[in-house]
Structure 1
Amino acid sequence: MDTLAQVRNGQLAGATRLDLSCGLTEIPPEIFELAETLEILNLSGNCLHDLPQDLARLKKLRILFCSQNNFEHLPDVIGNLPSLQMLGFKSNRIARVDEASLPPSLRWLILTDNRIEQLPSSIGKCLPLQKLMLAGNRLSRLPEEMARCVNLELIRLAANQFEVLPDWLFHLPKLSWLAYSGNPVAADATGSRAGSIAWDELELMEKLGEGASGVISRARWQNGSRHVAVKIFKGEMTSDGLPASEKAACLAAGAHPHLVPVIAELASHPEDASGLVMEWIGGGFTNLAGPPDFQSCTRDVYAEDIRFPPSVLLKIARGIAEAARALHAKGIMHGDLYAHNILRDEEGHALLGDFGAATFHGRTDRLAEKLEVRAFGCLLEELLERWEGSKAPEELRDLVRHCMDPEVARRPGFPEITVLLGAFGLPSGPI
C-alpha cells in the first residue's frame, strides 16, 4: 500500500499503479502528476463521495477501484476516461448511475452491494463488456439496450428484486456464468435438509483458504478421529450473492462422486455464524487452475508449463460434465463452472466445489442449462490447449465448438455431452 507522503514528495514519479487507503475525503492533486503513466488507481477503503473533473487527465488509466467509500452516485467524470477497462465501486451507497458515467471501453464493471434501482441505457454502448457484477442492489429490470452487449460472458444479478428476467438475457451468444439467486424469479430450494454438527464437537486447525463468502479451515471431528473441512460464512454480501443461497445450494446438490462432499450444517457457533462441515480433501488434490486476472477477465489462469495426458484430461472433463448433469437434473445451475473451482488429482479424478453463484432455476429451464454448457465448453477448450503429446482429436474440438455455439438453443445438453465424452474410451457411469 502506498502512502500519501510518498505521493507528495515525488517518490512515486512514473508509477503505473497507485494504492491509497488512508481515510481520504478528496483526491490529493499530486496524483495528477502521474497522468502520463498511471494505469491502475485503487482508492478503496477511504471516505470519498465524489471525484474531481481533473480525473479525466488520467488518459492511460485502465483500472479504477473505489470500493468501500461513501459514493451515492457514480461520478460522470468516469465516462471521460478513454482507456478505462475495469471499474469497481463495490459496497458504497450508490443509488444513481447516470447516463454519462459509463465509458464505452469498459470490459469489467463491479457495482456489487449498493442501492441501485435502475441502470442507464448507455450501458448498451459498452460493447466490450464481458463481466458485470450487480449482486446486492435493488434492480427489478435491465435496460433493453443491454441486449447489444453481445460480449457479456459473466453476469451477477443475485439478491436484487427481479420477478422476471428478460428473454434476451438467455440468448446472449457468449453468456456462460449467470447468478440470480435471492430474487423472486429464482425457484425455491428443494431437498435441502441435512443433519448438523455442533461447533463444540470440532477442533479447528489451520486455515485452508478464504474466498468471497467465507473461510475454510481443517478441523478434527469425532473426538479427533476424523479430519473435516469447515466453512464459516462471512454473513456479508459477496460478489456472487448471499452466503445463505450458497449454503442452500450445497445442501440441495446432495452427494455425487464429482462434487465436494458436504457432511452437515454447522450448529451452535458462538457468534451465531452460519457454516458447513465438508469432507476434507486430503493430499494429492490441487486446484485445476487459478482464477481470472485483470488481463484475462473471464478466463482462468493455468500454470505455464502444465500439460495433461489424454486419459487424465478426458477423466477431468467427463467427471465435471457428470457433476453438471446431476446438478441440472435437480434444477441447480452452478453459475461458476470454472477450473479454479475444481480440485483434481494426478489420475484425473475431479471435484467441483464453491456454490457461491449457484441458482435454483427449476428443472424445466433448458436455456439455463445451455448457458452453463458454454462454461463447460470454455473449460474443455482450455484443457485441450494443454493436451500432452500430439494434437487433440478433432471430435473433441468439434464438441467445444458445439458447446460454444452462439445460438444457445443449438448447444447440446449435459446428458449428450457425457455420452460424447464416453465415446473416447472412458467407462460409462461414475468415474
Structure 2
Amino acid sequence: MGNGKIMLNGTGLLISGAAIDFPDYEIKERLGGGANGVVFRAWDRNLERDVALKVWGSRGLSRAQDESKKIAALTHDCIVATHRFSWVGNHPYCVMEYVPGESLKSWLKAERPVEAKIAIWKGYARALQHIHSLGVVHGDPHTGNVLVGPGANVKVADAGTSIFWDDHSKFETREKDLIIETAHRLFESEKLSELWAPPDAVNHQDALTMFDIPVEFLSRAYGLPDHDMRSLAASYFSDQILAHPFFRLDAVIRHIDAGGVTDGERVLRRINASLAGRTSFMDGDEKLSHQTQERYSARMKEAAALVRHMRGAVSAPVA
C-alpha cells in the first residue's frame, strides 16, 4: 500500500483500491502528503468542525501510533494539536487540528513584508524551543511542515518521526541544518546569509538561539521610526553588534539605512569609537574604518573559536 494509492472516494477514501469510510468524518480534500502518510481536510460530524486527518501508508504503518503519541505530547499554541488516534480496519489514522492557510514553503512564493516574516520566525522558534525543552527534537522542521494561518499565525506540524532514528548525532545535525535553512529561506530577500555568519560548530538548540539575534536586529531595523529615539536606537544596534560578533558590518549598515529607525553613520561612530578605545562616540568616524574592520574581524574569529571549543566539550542530550 503506497501513499500514492490513498485517494479520495466521495466522503471516504480508496486505499490500495479498497473503499474505506470513516464513520465520524467526512473527507473533503487532500492537503498534502509525505513519505509516511497523506493528510486530508475532513468534517467532524460529531463536533461540527473542520479537522486534519492523517492516514498512514504502508511505510509508516508499524509506527503510526508511536508517532501520534509523540506529537500529542507536544502541547503548545504554536504546534498543531492532536485530538485522536484510531484505526479503520487495518488502517491507522490520526485526527489533528485543522489550520486554515498554507505551508510556509507556499507562503514564501509571494513577496511578504519583513514584519510578517519576523512574526513567523518567532512562532517557529517558540514551537521548537518548547520541543527542545522537553529533551526531544522535532525531526523535520522544514518550511513544508510550518503552517501559516491568517495574520501570520504559525503552527508547526509533523513532529513524530524522530523517535525512530538510531543515530541521534546525525539527527541533531539534520535538525540544525533545517533550522538554518528555514531562517535563510524566510529572510532570503533581506539577505540574512550576508548579514549574519554564525559558526558551524553549534548544535540544533544553539542554532535556534543564535538566529534569534539577527531576527531581533531586523525587527528593530525595520520597526516604526521614532525620530526622538534615533540616538537610542543607534546605541542599541552598536551594543548588539559588539556583543555578538557574527554580524557582517557592511550588510548591517545597509539594513539600518534601509529601515530608517536611525542612520548608519550614528551606528558607525559608536562602533569605531568603541573598537578604537575612544572615550566618546562623538569622536568616532562616520565611515567604516580599516582599523574597525580588522578589529571586528579578529573578534569574529575569537568568538567562532570559543564556540567550537564549547561544542567540543559539551553535548546536549536528545531523546
Structure 1 SS opposite 2:90: coil
TM-score between both structures, scaled by the size of structure 1: 0.39
Q: Distance in 2 between matches of 1:321 and 1:281?
A: 18
Per the TM alignment, residue 360 of structure 1 is displaced from its structure 2 partner at its CA by 7.7
**Is the CA contact 1:367–1:409 (under 8 Å) kept in the aligned structure 2?**
no
Q: Counterpart in 2 of 1:229?
A: 52
Note the alpha carbon deviations across 1:209-265, whole angstroms, 9 max, x for none: 332212222222253622211111124259xx9434432321222x21221221122
Q: Distance in 2 between matches of 1:410 and 1:202?
A: 38
| Alignment match of 1:215 (pick from 30, 38, 42) | 38
Structure 2 SS opposite 1:200: coil
**Is the CA contact 1:367–1:408 (under 8 Å) kept in the aligned structure 2?**
no
**Higher helix proportion, which one?**
2
- Residues 231 and 343 of structure 1: CA distance in aligned 2, closer, same or farther (over 3 Å): same
Q: Could you say what the CA RMSD is over the residues aligned between the two structures, in angstroms?
A: 3.7
Q: Distance in 2 between matches of 1:393 and 1:407?
A: 17
Q: Distance in 2 between matches of 1:243 and 1:342?
A: 20
TM-score between both structures, scaled by the size of structure 2: 0.52
Structure 1 SS opposite 2:59: coil
Residues 76-155 of structure 1: pairs in structure 2 closer than 5 A: none
Which letter does structure 1 place at the counterpart of 2:26? E
**Is the CA contact 1:220–1:227 (under 8 Å) kept in the aligned structure 2?**
yes
Q: Counterpart in 2 of 1:379?
A: 182
**Is the CA contact 1:313–1:383 (under 8 Å) kept in the aligned structure 2?**
yes
Q: Counterpart in 2 of 1:407?
A: 201
Q: Distance in 2 between matches of 1:201 and 1:261?
A: 19
- Residues 386 and 237 of structure 1: CA distance in aligned 2, closer, same or farther (over 3 Å): same
Q: Distance in 2 between matches of 1:410 and 1:208?
A: 29
**Is the CA contact 1:331–1:360 (under 8 Å) kept in the aligned structure 2?**
no
Per the TM alignment, residue 366 of structure 1 is displaced from its structure 2 partner at its CA by 9.8
Q: Counterpart in 1 of 2:67?
A: 246
Q: Distance in 2 between matches of 1:289 and 1:410?
A: 21
Paired residue total: 199
Note the alpha carbon deviations across 1:334-371, whole angstroms, 9 max, x for none: 1211111111136322221123532389xxx8996575
Q: Distance in 2 between matches of 1:245 and 1:412?
A: 28
Runs (5+) with no aligned partner, structure 2: 3-20, 224-319
Structure 2 SS opposite 1:374: helix
- Residues 410 and 250 of structure 1: CA distance in aligned 2, closer, same or farther (over 3 Å): closer
Report the structure number with the largest CA radius of gyration: 2
Note the alpha carbon deviations across 1:305-348, whole angstroms, 9 max, x for none: x3221111111111111111111111221121111111113632
Structure 1 SS opposite 2:23: helix
Residues 386-401 of structure 1: pairs in structure 2 closer than 5 A: 386-387=189-190, 397-398=195-196, 401=197
1:204 equivalent in alignment to 2:17: no
Residues 32-431 of structure 1: pairs in structure 2 closer than 5 A: 199-223=22-46, 225-237=48-60, 242-253=63-74, 255-266=75-86, 268-269=87-88, 271-282=89-100, 285-289=101-105, 303=109, 306-345=110-149, 347-359=151-163, 372-387=175-190, 397-398=195-196, 401-402=197-198, 405-408=199-202, 412=206, 414=208, 417-418=211-212, 421-422=215-216, 424=219
